[in-house]
Amino acid sequence: AQSVAQPEDQVNVAEGNPLTVKCTYSVSGNPYLFWYVQYPNRGLQFLLKYITGDNLVKGSYGFEAEFNKSQTSFHLKKPSALVSDSALYFCAVRDESSGGYNKLIFGAGTRLAVHP
Amino acid sequence: AAGVIQSPRHLIKEKRETATLKCYPIPRHDTVYWYQQGPGQDPQFLISFYEKMQSDKGSIPDRFSAQQFSDYHSELNMSSLELGDSALYFCASSSRQGENGYTFGSGTRLTVV
């Protein structure tokens, strides 16, 4: 079965420091991976995706993610965190088992808290 | 650019009542997905439609039904509402089986009292 795991419930980082939000995946075949951010009482906003190509993917708001096939990871990173980055972050993988109409499967989410 | 539109934004219903949530996908997107996100939970897949036909089914209760219409908008019908149905309900749309990404609406917050 396809799945993603976010091992950290919460990540705390000081403003200006680099941040990493971890995600590992389990899929059969090549993964399609996504990161979304959710602010309180808001919808899911797309940050970036990996389909194929360069392992380092650049996305919105200065975020990037590194696809690592050997470690089956897709960690989200940002060189310098902002207080406004504080939110809930979801990693997701496209389900390849549903006959071609591929829903997203989400991780449990990681709450990022950036302190001034 | 047009986004996924969901209505209503907020809905309060009493137990055993019925609710209908609507979703208008991005133009030319052929697939609609419904998700339920409980408090402090990750989004759980309910059901999806491709070209107006149900394409996949997740953990959707039998009390819920959904359909996609000729104009590609979708409606999620929820009957005999229970307190546990209180959640944020998201709709997402995609084209080309998600290769171009998935766009989510802002969600409908359903509160059952």
DSSP-derived secondary structure for B34-98: EEEE-TT---EEEEEEETTEEEEE-S--TTEEEEE-TTS-EEEEE-S--GGG-EEEEEEEESGGG
Q: Give the contacts of B70 (CB within 8 A, at least 6 positions apart).
A: B52
Q: Which of residues B16 and B98 earns the better pLDDT score?
A: B16
Q: Say if residue A17's pLDDT is above 80.
A: yes
The pLDDT of B19-30, averaged and rounded, is 94
Across the interface, do A46 and B43 touch by the CB < 8 Å criterion? Answer: no
Q: Say if residue B96's pLDDT is above 80.
A: no
The pLDDT of B10-26, averaged and rounded, is 97
Residue-wise pLDDT tens digits, A89-102? 999 998 877 665 68
Tell me, what's the pLDDT at A1? 73
Distance from CA of A42 to the nearest CA of B (A): 6
Q: What is the mean pLDDT of chain A?
A: 92
Total domains present in chain B: 1
Residue-wise pLDDT tens digits, A56-101? 999 999 999 999 999 999 999 999 999 999 999 999 998 877 665 6
Percent of chain A beyond pLDDT 70?
97
Across the interface, do B105 and A43 touch by the CB < 8 Å criterion? Answer: yes
Chain B residues whose beta carbon lies within 8 Å of the beta carbon of residue A94: 97-98
Rounded CA gap, A18 and A14, in Å? Answer: 8
> Partners of B57 in the beta sheet?
B47
Q: A3-115 is classed in which CATH architecture? A: Sandwich (2.60)
Both tokens of A73, joined, read 């990871």
Distance from CA of A87 to the nearest CA of B (A): 12
Across the interface, do A43 and B90 touch by the CB < 8 Å criterion? Answer: yes
Phi, psi of A53 (to 5 degrees): 100, -145
Tell me, what's the pLDDT at A45? 92
Rounded CA gap, A46 and A78, in Å? Answer: 15
Asked if A104 reaches chain B (Cβ–Cβ under 8 Å), the answer is yes
CA dist A104 → A73, A75, A100, B28, B51 (Å): 17, 17, 12, 19, 18
Q: Say if residue B99's pLDDT is above 80.
A: no
Percent of chain B beyond pLDDT 90?
76
CATH number for the domain harbouring residue B18: 2.60.40.10
Rounded CA gap, B70 and A67, in Å? Answer: 39
Domain hosting B77: range is: 5-112
Tell me, what's the pLDDT at B7? 96
**CA nearest neighbour of B43 among A29, A11, A107:** A107
Residue-wise pLDDT tens digits, B47-77? 999 888 998 899 899 999 999 999 999 999 9
Asked if B58 reaches chain A (Cβ–Cβ under 8 Å), the answer is yes
The pLDDT of B27-45, averaged and rounded, is 91
The pLDDT of A34-61, averaged and rounded, is 91
Rounded CA gap, A55 and A33, in Å? Answer: 11
> For chain A, what are the domain ranges?
3-115
Interface of B with A in 23-42 (CB under 8 A): 31, 33, 42
**CA nearest neighbour of A92 among B4, B37, B69:** B37
Contact B10, B109 (CB under 8 A): yes
Phi, psi of A52 (to 5 degrees): -165, 170
At A70 the three-state DSSP class reads coil
